[in-house]
């Protein structure tokens, strides 16, 4: 086995991490990825891809904004063939910025439901995450929970924890509500939700779950993979916090639970386009989808692959069928609604 470092690919931005994945000596070319997902959430899959195909994979990881800015500044000179990131809002932002190209693939179309990919093929979802209500087992009765909208009821005053409006996950949730209920109704809901905050928004999804477990609030909204990682954590404190909360699937009788994706698109100036398509098809395939489910506590985007035992333990749910591309289209409106509602 040998690595093939490429000096032209070294990132000038200090916060970006370059990881060259070993490939066979007779490698069939290469593919270069800019990834906003942490290295340990994607590298094992890329290693497997290289072993199976002989295609070397060069990986740069960094923050979403930094990677998008880098793609824009590099323009036609970028070495990146794929942009991989989380949330349809970020994928749509990349598409709007003109750094992605449309790609058609029968394999991707067969493995990825239409609601989890861009209608024109600019990006494809690779894993699914749901954003249900997480509640305190000892303080909340199931009968008190019903819909996202119901969390704006005054009975929840001082009992809701949620992360800030800067979170793209919350922005996408609000965008989904706008798509279903309109801007005015969604703004009224957001104002009611803000009035019920137990404390000013702070921290990430894990922090909200821990706050519920600690009694700072009774309910929160969080992506399922965060809770899954806590359930399976080696950190005993995280496991204990996870044991004190439960999942409720809202809107079962109406629009369904808000869902989103992590996904990827091929860059507008990809030099290794064919290899990039092969990698996306691999990530949508059975083995990679099983890995997403078992290791990342994410729902497979491929409906033929079952979720992990941890995810199954929370029961089945009705997922919103809204095309996640709509979440990106309505992102700016969602941010404006949240600002007017006083969601900090």
54: left (phi over 0), alpha (psi -120 to 50) or beta: left
Per DSSP, the three-state class of 154 is: helix
Average confidence score pLDDT of the chain: 91
Say what percent of the chain tops pLDDT 70: 92
**Strand 56-61 versus strand 219-221 pairing type:** unpaired
- The reported pLDDT for the residue numbered 80 is 97
**Nearest-angstrom CA–CA distance, 111 and 132:** 25
Measured in Å, how far apart are the chain's first and last C-alpha atoms? Answer: 51
Return the pLDDT at 22. Answer: 38
pLDDT of residue 114: 96
Residue 52 has pLDDT above 60, yes or no: yes
How far from 239 is each of 146, 231, 243, 249, CA to CA, in Å? 26, 5, 6, 21
Do 140 and 218 form a contact (C-beta atoms < 8 A)? yes
CB 148 within 8 A of CB 250: yes
pLDDT at 26: 37
The total of other beta-carbon atoms located within 10 Å of residue 5's CB is 9
Domains in the chain: ranges and CATH: 7-128+259-305 (3.40.190.10), 130-257+316-341 (3.40.190.10)
The whole-number pLDDT of residue 42 equals 86
Mean local confidence (pLDDT), 36-54: 90
Query: What is the rounded average pLDDT of the residues 220-240?
Result: 94
CA gyration radius, the chain: 20
Predicted local confidence at residue 143, as pLDDT: 92
Among 85-89, 101-105, 137-141, name the one with the lowest average pLDDT. Answer: 85-89
pLDDT winner (highest mean) among 85-89, 154-158, 224-228, 308-312: 154-158
């Amino acid at each position: 086995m040998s690595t093939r470092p490429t000096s032209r690919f070294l990132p000038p931005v200090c916060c970006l991490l370059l990881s060259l994945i070993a490939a066979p000596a007779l490698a069939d070319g290469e593919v270069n990825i800019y990834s906003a997902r942490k290295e340990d959430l994607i590298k094992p899959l890329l290693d497997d891809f290289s072993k199976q195909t002989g295609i070397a994979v060069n990986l740069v990881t960094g923050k979403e904004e930094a990677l998008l800015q880098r793609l824009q500044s590099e323009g036609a000179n970028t070495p990146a063939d794929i942009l991989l990131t989380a949330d349809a809002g970020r994928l749509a932002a990349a598409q709007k910025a003109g750094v992605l190209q449309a790609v058609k693939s029968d394999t991707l179309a067969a493995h990825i439901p239409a609601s989890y990919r861009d209608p024109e093929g600019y990006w494809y979802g690779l894993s699914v995450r749901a954003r249900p209500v997480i509640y305190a087992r000892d303080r909340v009765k199931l009968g008190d929970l019903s819909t996202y909208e119901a969390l704006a009821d005054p009975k929840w005053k001082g009992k809701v924890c949620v992360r800030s409006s800067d979170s793209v996950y919350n922005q996408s949730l609000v965008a989904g509500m706008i798509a279903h209920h309109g801007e005015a109704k969604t703004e009224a809901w957001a104002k009611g939700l803000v009035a019920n905050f137990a404390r000013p928004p702070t921290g990430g999804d894990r922090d909200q779950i821990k706050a519920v477990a600690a009694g700072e609030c009774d309910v929160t909204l969080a992506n399922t993979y965060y809770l899954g990682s806590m359930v399976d954590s080696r950190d005993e404190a995280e496991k204990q916090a996870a044991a004190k909360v439960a999942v409720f699937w809202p809107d079962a009788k109406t629009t369904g639970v808000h869902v989103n994706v992590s996904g990827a698109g091929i860059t507008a100036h990809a030099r290794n386009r064919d290899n990039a398509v092969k990698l996306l098809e691999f990530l949508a395939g059975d083995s990679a989808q099983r890995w997403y489910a078992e290791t990342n506590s994410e729902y497979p985007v491929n409906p033929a692959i079952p979720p992990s035992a941890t995810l199954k333990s929370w029961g089945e749910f009705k997922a919103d069928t809204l095309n996640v591309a709509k979440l990106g289209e309505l992102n700016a409106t969602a941010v404006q609604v949240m600002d007017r509602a006083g969601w900090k």
